[in-house]
Amino acid sequence: MGLTMELNNLKDAFDRVAKKQKLSCSKVQEVMDQIVQEIEKAIEMMQSTTLDHKSILAELKKKLHEIAPLAQLEGTQKELNIALSKYPKALEKTLNPDISKAYRNIEFDSHTVNQIIASHFYRQGMFDVGDCFITEAGEAGAAAAMRSLFQEMYQILEAMKSRNLEPALKWAAANSDKLKENGSDLLLGLHQLQFVKILQKGSREEALKYARTNFVPFAGNHMAEIQKLMGCLLYSDRLSESPYAHLLSPTNWDIVAEELTRQFCNLLGQSYQSPLSVTIAAGVQGLPPLLKFMTVMAGKKQEWQSMKQLPVPVELDKEFQFHSIFVCPVSKEQSTEDNPPMLMSCGHVLCKQSINKMSKNGSKTFKCPYCPSDVDAPRCRQLNF
C-alpha cells in the first residue's frame, strides 16, 4: 500500500512536469507564429511596394519589440524549470539508488543461482543469451538437459503462434496420463482449437471426421462442450456470425498456450513462473520497508547481519505467499526452525519457546491460554506445515 502510494505520487510529479512542458512548448509555438507572421508581412511589403526598405525594417523591429518574445516565454519557462528541479528529488526520494545498506552477507549457492538465471533465459526462448551466460559462469555441463527441455516447449509455443497445433497435440498425447492425473483438460482444449480451425476452412466433413476420431474419450466428462462444437457444424460457412462466434477468439489460443506452459513446467518439476522474475518482483515489494528500517538503524548494522528473521513486517501480495506461516498468539513472533509451532493436547498451538516459558522448561503443567485444559509440555508435538 505504501509503495503504491509513493509510486502514485511519483507519477503525479511526472504528470506535472509533462503538463508544464506541454504549456511551455505551446507558448513557444504561439510566439514563433507571431514572429513569423510579422516577418512575412514585412517581406510581402518589400516585394510589393517601392517604399524604403529601411523604414519597413524599422517597423518590423518595432513590432518584434512589442511582441516581446522573451517576456512572453519567461513565465512558462520558469514554471517548467521549477517542476523539472523538483522531479529528480522526488525520484531520488522514492527510488533510493543505494540499496546496499539492506544487503546481508549470506552465502549463496552459486550453482543454484546460475541455474535459475539460465533457466529464466531459456524460458523466454533466449537460448543464445542463456548459452553465453552458462559458458561464462562455467556451468556448461549442467545446461544441456535444461536447454533441450525448454527448447522443446518454446518450439511448441512458437508453432502455436503460427496456428500449427501438431507439435502441441503430439506432446499432449504422449503425456495424456500425467495430464489426467493433474486434472488438466489441455488435450481436449487442443482438439477443440484444431476442430474449429478445420471448420474455418469450410471442410464440414473433415471436421466431423476429426470430432469422431478425437472427442470420444472426453464424452463422459465434457459432453456439454462437445455438443457446442457439434452445433458449429450447422454454421460452417458463417461461423463468425453464429452463436458460436466466441470460439474464433484469439483469446482461446492464449488460454490453451498458457495451460500448456503450466503443465509442461509442472511435468518438468519446474514452477510455472520464472523463479528469477518472482524473486525480483517480491524483492521490489519487500525492499522499501527494509531500507527504511536500515536508515533508522544505521548504527546497528552488525545486529542486522546476525538477525535470523526480518526485523520489520514485510507485506507481500498473495501471489508471493507460497506456504503457511505460524505466528505464536502468546509471543506474537513468527515460528522458526529453532522455535517451531507445537500442538498441545487440547488441540491449540503455541510456539515452543512460549510453552517452555509457561511450563518452566517442562517442570510443571500450565493452563492453555485459549481453554481451561491443563497442558503437559512433554506431551506437546511439533507441527510441520
- Going from N- to C-terminal start, the domains of the chain cover 1-91, 163-268, 327-382
State percent of the chain over pLDDT 70: 92
Q: How confident is the model at residue 139 (pLDDT cuts 50, 70, 90)?
A: confident
Handedness of CA 304, 309, 314, 319 (dihedral sign): positive
pLDDT at 157: 92
Question: Which residues 6+ apart lie within 8 Å of 84 measured at CB?
Answer: 17, 20
Amino acid at 125: G
Q: How confident is the model at residue 44 (pLDDT cuts 50, 70, 90)?
A: confident
Strand-pair partners of 349: 343
Give tens-digit pLDDT for 50-102.
777 888 888 888 888 888 888 888 888 888 888 888 888 888 777 766 777 77
pLDDT at 221: 86
pLDDT at 372: 84
Give tens-digit pLDDT for 201-220.
878 889 889 889 999 888 88
**pLDDT over 60 (residue 2):** no
Q: How far apart are CA 261 and CA 153, in angstroms?
A: 7
Give tens-digit pLDDT for 297-350.
766 666 666 666 666 777 788 878 777 788 888 888 888 888 999 999 898 999
- What is 327-382's CATH topology? Herpes Virus-1 (3.30.40)
H-type alpha helices, the chain: 2-48, 53-67, 69-94, 110-123, 127-137, 140-161, 166-174, 176-181, 186-200, 204-214, 223-231, 250-267, 275-296, 301-306, 352-358
pLDDT at 308: 65
Average pLDDT over residues 268-282: 86
Range among 133-137, 138-142, 165-169 with highest mean pLDDT value: 165-169
pLDDT at 158: 92
| Residue with more model confidence, 352 or 237 | 352
pLDDT at 83: 86
